[in-house]
């Protein structure tokens, strides 16, 4: 039985797809057979971030509708063993993701994989609800910024009530917080919500902090999950987050401002 | 903090403003979604009943469900306007 993990946030543009690609790749690198599914029907993008956009033949909705089988639709990653991508459809039909259909596909994948990573679309519409509904665990991607934090709290409410686990009388899913685009300097100057601020408001376990980093755009430009850029701060921070997700202890990195010398402190504007 | 900062007017940092605003709105939204489903409709009906007698605005009726041990307590707050005799 696979563990189903939803990567969600409510707000768009905070790094869900970047995170889905990074976490899925990190899990596969550690030997877990992993599939990452793009639930953003109509606005397919995971394929671009994973660098496999030209290899898409069939998609998630094709499989749901029986136009293709999973074997035909799954794209095997060429860089990392054990990693597969199921791309989203570009159909504009909002009802394409039927609950029965999604369940059938997840059940089929579940026998074959260790992890199923669901890349949720933004918002709280059907695609987002479907991505969350079958999840066992959730990673809530949040920027240290008011609208993102508020939307994350909305999503936590949905995770606590509208999932299969809860409907079957199980425990509600407690999302784990992944704080992205964090700038230690700005937080120290009081211009950005700090890790503690966001943690206090959302009151969930902290999975990791990803610093604002040039490496993320470089990675998406190249179609390489940023976690593969092991020299970069963001890549290393994602590797730490994957380790913590698997239950290891890792200290937070890239969250402190480098200490300045005497003159640096004296003349800081 | 640099030496020149000592001469500046202290003012509230934007992050602490953000935090305060978030704490208030998040608490309010959590209370709204944790209550029973009938709460918003009941609030509207109560408002209509009250308006038969006193003119109050939409914000005048506040409802809150609290849990105290095994007991659920429905707290109802009606703010009357100042200019009542």
Nearest CA in chain A to B1: A265
Contact between residue A22 and residue A216 where contact means Cβ atoms under 8 Å apart: no
Asked if the Cβ–Cβ distance from A197 to B19 is below 8 Å, we say yes
ipTM of predicted complex: 0.84
Q: Rounded distance, CA A51 to CA B43, Å?
A: 52
* Nearest CA-CA partner of A99 in A73, A64, A70, A67: A64
Domain range enclosing B67: 20-30+37-84
Position B3 in a domain: no
pTM: 0.85
Q: pLDDT digits over A120-149, tens only?
A: 999 999 999 999 999 999 999 999 999 999
Nearest CA in chain B to A193: B15
Position B14 in a domain: no
Judged by a CB distance cut-off of 8 A, whether residue B28 touches chain A is no
Residue B6 pLDDT grade (very low, low, confident, very high; cuts 50, 70, 90): low
Position B7 in a domain: no
Asked if the Cβ–Cβ distance from B2 to A149 is below 8 Å, we say no
Q: pLDDT digits over A171-202, tens only?
A: 889 899 999 999 999 999 999 999 999 999 99
Q: What is the pLDDT of residue B67?
A: 72
How many domains is chain B built from? 1
Position B9 in a domain: no
Q: Rounded distance, CA A85 to CA A38, Å?
A: 8
Position B66 in a domain: yes
Q: Rounded distance, CA A153 to CA B22, Å?
A: 10
Position B51 in a domain: yes
Write the CATH number for B64. 3.30.1070.10
* Regions in chain A scoring below 70 on pLDDT: 260-269
């Amino acid at each position: 039985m696979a563990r189903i993990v939803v990567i969600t946030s409510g707000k768009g543009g905070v790094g869900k797809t970047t995170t889905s690609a990074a976490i899925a790749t990190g899990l596969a690198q550690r030997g877990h057979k992993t599939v990452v599914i793009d639930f953003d029907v109509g606005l397919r993008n995971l394929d671009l971030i994973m660098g496999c956009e030209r290899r898409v033949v069939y998609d998630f909705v094709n499989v749901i509708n029986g136009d293709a089988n999973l074997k035909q639709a799954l794209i095997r990653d060429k860089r990392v063993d054990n990693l597969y991508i199921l791309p989203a459809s570009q159909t504009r039909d909002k009802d394409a993701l039927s609950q029965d259909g999604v369940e059938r596909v997840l059940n089929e994948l579940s026998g074959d994989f260790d992890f199923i990573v669901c890349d949720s679309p933004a918002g709280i519409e059907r695609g987002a609800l479907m991505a969350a509904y079958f999840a066992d665990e959730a990673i809530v991607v949040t920027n240290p910024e008011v609208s993102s934090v508020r939307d994350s709290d909305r999503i936590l409410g949905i995770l606590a009530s509208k999932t299969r686990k809860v409907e079957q009388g199980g425990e509600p899913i407690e999302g784990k917080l992944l704080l992205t685009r964090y700038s230690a300097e700005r937080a120290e100057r009081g211009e950005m919500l700090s890790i503690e601020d966001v943690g206090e408001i959302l009151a969930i376990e902290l999975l990791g902090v990803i610093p604002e980093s040039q490496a993320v755009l470089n990675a998406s430009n190249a179609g390489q999950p940023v976690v593969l850029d092991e020299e970069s701060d963001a890549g290393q921070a994602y590797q730490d987050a994957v380790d913590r997700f698997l239950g290891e202890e890792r200290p937070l990195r890239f969250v402190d401002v480098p200490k300045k010398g005497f003159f640096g402190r004296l003349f800081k504007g | 903090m640099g030496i020149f900062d000592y001469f500046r007017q202290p003012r509230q940092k934007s992050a602490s403003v953000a935090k305060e605003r978030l704490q208030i709105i998040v608490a309010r939204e959590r209370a709204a979604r944790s209550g029973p489903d009938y709460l918003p409709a009941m609030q509207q009906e109560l408002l209509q009943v009250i308006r038969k007698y006193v003119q109050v605005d939409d914000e005048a009726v506040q409802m809150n469900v609290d849990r105290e041990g095994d007991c659920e307590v429905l707290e109802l707050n009606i703010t009357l306007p100042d200019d009542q005799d």
